[in-house]
């Protein structure tokens, strides 16, 4: 039985309702919200009859002659070498593909097309391994790609853009990589132009991007060693509302797949590069869309840099039994492997299943969701949250992680935090106070901020343990308990704007009537102390990163500031870099930032103490 390409395409058209659907004009999205039809690996190949497949016994090695019986009638694999390395595995894949593309995959794609017709859809996304490959000849490989696009998009609305990303099968075989790139680069350029109205500057790998309304879409070669370019592409567009990274191989390591290391930033990438990409995705709260593993997996990451989500999708429908919905319970306890160890500390939710089907991504200002449709279903089996406004901006902004139960702190006065810009105005004095005091022996807080002006008064921040400001004299100042020896460090003023308590304190300092403090020092009272940091010049309007380290056992704290080289240098005075807490609390009660400015982040780590992080 020899199947010609024309005969195969005709037979495929008869095999699924998707090819008989009416062509409709493309439904335009609103700009701020839209939906995307999503397919996983499809491994497009020649359909085969059951009796032909059954004539092969795959429980034992298939002979070269028996494989030749298949290639002699194959539309796409006639030039494939059945003596190459991995031939047995590749041959079994041909039969698998032929079985599923006879009837199941056309039904799956038809169901996705039905939803695209009935619901506004901006484009169709396929996450790589569009075709099986292994053609043995570049011209045949290109034809396979063209046939795959025609077969899959046939029932979708006319003119609906079809985007795909490079998968390992898309470039597998003699001359396949060049054939794929020669086809895909101009194809993607045209499809992106039709989608956005703007011709992309490049569709070349390892990574390229385009804007769809307010969102940044990045497509990458998952097997690249140059993951830094992916970071650069993302960082080059800091104002995008959402960042979507499309990669064939997942970034998050699968805990069950044999491909756990064959993934984005996996086998060919150093740990430092992997961490850099992890940070970039987390800071932008990115959404990663991937395939490759033939699994439906969902990952939700929250970490000290922010967090991101990933959905691994699968359309390799090898049997009716794989048309199942994913489990309703979190499987985080089952996420364990050597490759998974890097991701597990920040992984908060994990769902895993071998189900195959099609998907719909829904994007809006308030949330991003992924609907999973098992097999050829048109009713979702589960809806996954990929991003939600509340996940990035809790009601009171900062989440305190140190306590086992967790609690949220509050700002006094209130801070209006912009979740989209991750910035908040803190003009004047602002103090962070946990709803419940943080237990522990130590705490670390890191804050990025800029002072809009210098302090004009020496008003005492009542009840505050530690604070920093840009003093009237142009130096950094920290809030600490002082004594007679360092009275001169406090700029005394008769400004009418000073509080009564500050004026009274100033009077005591002038007269020396200050008593003995708890540490046996003469005059153990709070005051502002001028400090400096080597190589860092205090200026208004410059963003600084300060790190507070508070030790409750010694009741001392230190403040360091990041220099131009990325290191932290201590703030100090007279050779001292540790300062007494201004109040004697043994737990963190409040920390103040004075002088006005813009707070751009507040993060922390907990060493038996406080940790705060933007969500």
Where residue 594 falls among pLDDT bands split at 50, 70, 90?
low
For 579, the enclosing helix (H) or strand (E) is: strand 579-580
Last residue of a domain, one of 392, 420, 453: 392
For the chain, counts of helices (H) and of strands (E): 11, 30
In angstroms, what CA-CA distances link 273 with 226, 266, 309? 9, 10, 19
The pLDDT of residue 149: 98
Q: Answer whether residue 535 is part of any domain.
A: yes
User: What is the DSSP pairing of strand 556-562 with strand 579-580?
Assistant: antiparallel
Where residue 440 falls among pLDDT bands split at 50, 70, 90?
low
Q: Answer whether residue 600 is part of any domain.
A: yes
Question: Cα–Cα distance between 164 and 125 in angstroms, integer?
Answer: 6
Residue 191 or 330, more confident:
191
| CB burial of residue 159 (10 Å; 0-12, 13-18, 19+) | exposed
Q: Are residues 477 and 585 in the same domain?
A: yes
The pLDDT of residue 27: 33
Q: Are residues 363 and 444 in the same domain?
A: no
Q: What is the pLDDT of residues 518-538, one digit of tens each?
A: 333 335 678 888 999 999 999
Q: Are residues 298 and 349 in the same domain?
A: yes
Domain coverage including residue 415: 398-614
Q: Answer whether residue 125 is part of any domain.
A: yes
DSSP letters of 50-84? HHHHHTS-TTSPPPHHHHHHHHTT-SS-TT--TTS
pLDDT at 311 over 60: yes
Q: Are residues 334 and 408 in the same domain?
A: no
- Which residues 6+ apart lie within 8 Å of 60 measured at CB? none
Q: Are residues 129 and 33 in the same domain?
A: yes
Q: What is the pLDDT of residues 116-136, one digit of tens each?
A: 999 999 999 999 999 999 999
Q: What is the pLDDT of residues 541-592, one digit of tens each?
A: 888 888 888 887 788 889 999 998 888 999 999 888 999 888 765 566 667 7
pLDDT at 515 over 50: no
Question: Residue 610's Cα: distance from chain center in Å?
Answer: 25
The answer to whether the CB of 535 falls within 8 A of the CB of 563 is yes
Q: Answer whether residue 7 is part of any domain.
A: no
Q: Answer whether residue 61 is part of any domain.
A: no
Q: Answer whether residue 14 is part of any domain.
A: no
Q: Are residues 543 and 460 in the same domain?
A: yes
Q: Are residues 432 and 494 in the same domain?
A: yes
Identify which of 38, 530, 22 has the alpha carbon closest to the alpha carbon of residue 315.
38
Q: Are residues 473 and 548 in the same domain?
A: yes
In angstroms, what CA-CA distances link 250 with 221, 246, 289? 11, 9, 8
For 153, the enclosing helix (H) or strand (E) is: helix 138-153
**Exposure string over 139-150, b if 16+ CB within 10 A, otherwise e:** ebbbbbbebbbe
Identify which of 436, 430, 483 has the alpha carbon closest to the alpha carbon of residue 452.
430
The pLDDT of residue 381: 93
Helix, strand, coil percent values for the chain (each to nearest 5): 25, 30, 45
Q: What is the pLDDT of residues 459-502, one digit of tens each?
A: 666 677 888 888 878 889 888 886 433 333 333 333 333 333 33
Last residue of a domain, one of 392, 410, 433: 392
Mean pLDDT, residues 54-61 taken together:
90
Residue 105 or 403, more confident:
105
Q: Are residues 581 and 494 in the same domain?
A: yes
Residue 363 or 515, more confident:
363
Name the phi and psi angles at 105, rounded to 5: -65, -40
Last residue of a domain, one of 392, 423, 458: 392
- Domain total in the chain: 2
Where residue 237 falls among pLDDT bands split at 50, 70, 90?
very high
Identify which of 339, 363, 229 has the alpha carbon closest to the alpha carbon of residue 287.
363
Question: Cα–Cα distance between 483 and 509 in angstroms, integer?
Answer: 9
Q: Minimum mean pLDDT among 103-112, 352-361, 454-463, 469-478: which range? A: 454-463
Question: Cα–Cα distance between 179 and 449 in angstroms, integer?
Answer: 51
Q: Answer whether residue 568 is part of any domain.
A: yes
Q: Are residues 240 and 318 in the same domain?
A: yes
Q: Are residues 461 and 589 in the same domain?
A: yes
Question: Cα–Cα distance between 358 and 17 in angstroms, integer?
Answer: 16
Mean pLDDT, residues 9-16 taken together:
38
Q: CB atoms < 10 A from the CB of 224, how many?
A: 19
| Local structure of 180: helix, strand or coil | helix
The answer to whether the CB of 593 falls within 8 A of the CB of 447 is yes
User: What is the DSSP pairing of strand 367-374 with strand 407-408?
Assistant: unpaired
Q: Minimum mean pLDDT among 13-17, 53-57, 240-244: which range? A: 13-17
How confident is the prediction for the chain on average, in pLDDT? 79
Q: CB atoms < 10 A from the CB of 389, how many?
A: 13
Q: Are residues 388 and 447 in the same domain?
A: no
Which of left, alpha, beta for 83 (phi over 0: left; psi -120 to 50: alpha)? alpha
The pLDDT of residue 415: 53
The pLDDT of residue 79: 95
pLDDT at 504 over 60: no
Q: Answer whether residue 610 is part of any domain.
A: yes
């Amino acid at each position: 039985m020899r199947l010609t390409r024309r005969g195969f395409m005709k037979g495929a058209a008869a095999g699924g309702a998707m090819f008989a659907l009416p062509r409709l004009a493309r439904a335009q999205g609103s700009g701020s919200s839209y939906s995307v039809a999503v397919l996983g690996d499809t491994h497009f190949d020649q359909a085969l009859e059951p009796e032909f497949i059954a004539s092969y016994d795959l429980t034992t090695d298939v002979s070269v002659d028996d494989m030749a019986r298949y290639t002699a009638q194959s539309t796409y694999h006639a030039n494939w070498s059945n003596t190459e390395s991995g031939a047995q595995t590749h041959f079994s894949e041909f039969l698998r593909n032929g079985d599923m593309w006879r009837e199941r995959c056309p039904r799956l794609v038809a169901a996705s097309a039905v939803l695209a017709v009935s619901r506004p859809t901006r484009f169709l996304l396929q996450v790589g391994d569009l075709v099986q490959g292994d053609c043995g000849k570049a011209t045949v490989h290109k034809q396979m790609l063209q046939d795959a696009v025609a077969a899959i998009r046939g029932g979708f609305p006319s003119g609906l853009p079809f985007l795909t990303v490079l998968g390992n099968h898309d470039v597998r075989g003699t001359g396949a990589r060049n054939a794929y790139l020669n086809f895909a680069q101009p194809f993607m350029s045209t499809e992106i132009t039709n989608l956005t109205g703007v011709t992309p500057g490049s569709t070349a790998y390892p990574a390229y991007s385009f804007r769809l309304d307010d969102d940044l879409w990045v497509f990458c070669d998952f097997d690249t060693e140059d993951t830094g370019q992916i970071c650069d592409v993302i960082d080059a567009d800091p104002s995008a509302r959402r960042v979507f990274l499309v990669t064939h191989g997942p970034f998050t390591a699968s805990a069950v797949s044999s491909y756990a290391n064959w993934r984005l930033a996996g086998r060919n990438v150093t740990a430092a590069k992997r961490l850099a990409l992890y940070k970039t995705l987390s800071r932008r709260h990115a959404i990663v869309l991937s395939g490759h593993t033939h699994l439906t997996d969902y990952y939700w990451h929250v970490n000290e840099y922010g967090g991101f989500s990933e959905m691994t999708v699968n359309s390799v429908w090898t049997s009716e039994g794989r048309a199942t919905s994913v489990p309703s319970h979190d499987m985080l306890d089952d996420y364990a492997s050597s490759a998974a160890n890097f991701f597990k500390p920040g992984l908060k939710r994990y769902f895993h299943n071998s189900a195959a089907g099609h998907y719909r991504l829904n994007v809006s200002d308030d949330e991003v969701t992924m609907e999973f449709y098992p097999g050829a279903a048109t009713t979702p089996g589960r809806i996954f949250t990929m991003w939600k406004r509340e996940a990035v901006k809790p009601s009171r902004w900062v989440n305190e992680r140190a306590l086992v139960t967790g609690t949220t702190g509050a700002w006094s006065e209130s801070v209006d935090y912009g979740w989209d810009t991750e910035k908040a105005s803190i003009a004047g004095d602002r103090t962070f106070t946990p709803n419940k005091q943080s237990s522990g022996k130590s705490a670390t807080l890191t804050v990025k901020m800029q002072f809009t002006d210098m302090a004009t008064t020496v008003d005492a921040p009542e009840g505050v343990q530690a604070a920093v400001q840009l003093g009237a004299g142009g130096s950094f100042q920290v809030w600490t308990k002082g004594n007679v020896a360092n009275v001169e460090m406090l700029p005394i003023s008769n400004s009418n704007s000073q509080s009564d308590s500050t004026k009274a304190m100033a009077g005591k300092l002038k007269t020396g009537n200050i008593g003995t403090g708890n540490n046996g020092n003469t005059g153990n009272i709070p005051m502002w102390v001028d400090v400096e940091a080597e190589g860092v010049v205090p200026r208004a309007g410059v963003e600084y990163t300060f790190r507070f380290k508070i030790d409750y056992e010694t009741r001392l704290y230190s403040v360091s500031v990041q220099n131009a080289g990325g290191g932290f240098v201590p703030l100090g005075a007279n050779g001292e870099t540790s300062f007494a807490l201004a109040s004697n609390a043994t737990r963190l009660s409040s920390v103040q930032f004075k002088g006005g400015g813009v707070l751009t982040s507040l993060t922390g780590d907990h060493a038996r103490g406080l940790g705060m992080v933007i969500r």
